[in-house]
Amino acid sequence: MSVATYLEARQPGLRPMREADLDAVMAIERRAYAFPWTRGIFLDCLHAGYAMWVHDYGEGALAGYGVLSIAAEEAHLLNLCTAPGYEGRGLGRRMLQALLKIARAGGAQRVFLEVRPSNPRAIALYQQTGFNEIGRRPRYYPAPGNTREDAIVMAMELLD
């Protein structure tokens, strides 16, 4: 059984992202972030074959998504978003757990991510899942007022 088949069977509502989802994904991205990804970034990730999954509640109603790249025994969580209004229901945790399974199945031994210090809910989720802060990237993210915000770099070892 493929990882995709396994996840779809075990995690109702989770499925691979398709190009047809991009309008709904972009609507969530724009509502959730002051500095959203562009449609082109999502499209490039799809074409590159990244692991891209959505929470699908039927008829195009999406409650979140995640994007993960895997290369050279490392995975990088690039985007994890729960749609505004759906927070606090465990959807981000479910998506993160699904993406970690995909990373393991893809041969990754560790997973990296960057997160804004101004996003304490995400930081708490990552810490509860087993990620640890390993460094900072100064002035990594754009911020309001034409300023920049550091990124907290986190990593997690994937143990069998």
CA distances for 29 relative to 9, 26, 47, 64, 74, angstroms: 27, 5, 19, 9, 25
Fold of 3-157: Aminopeptidase (3.40.630)
Residue 107 φ/ψ region, left for φ over 0, alpha for ψ in the -120 to 50 degree band, beta for the rest: left
Find the mean pLDDT for residues 136-157: 96
pLDDT reported for residue 159: 80
Top pLDDT among 10 and 131 is at 131
| 65 given a catalytic annotation | no
Top pLDDT among 9 and 160 is at 160
Residue 17 and residue 95: Cα distance in Å, rounded? 12
* Residue tagged active-site, from 114, 133, 140, 141: 114
| 126 given a catalytic annotation | yes
Per residue in 37-76, pLDDT (tens digit) is 999 999 999 999 999 999 998 776 899 999 999 999 999 9
What does the mean pLDDT of the chain come to?
A: 93
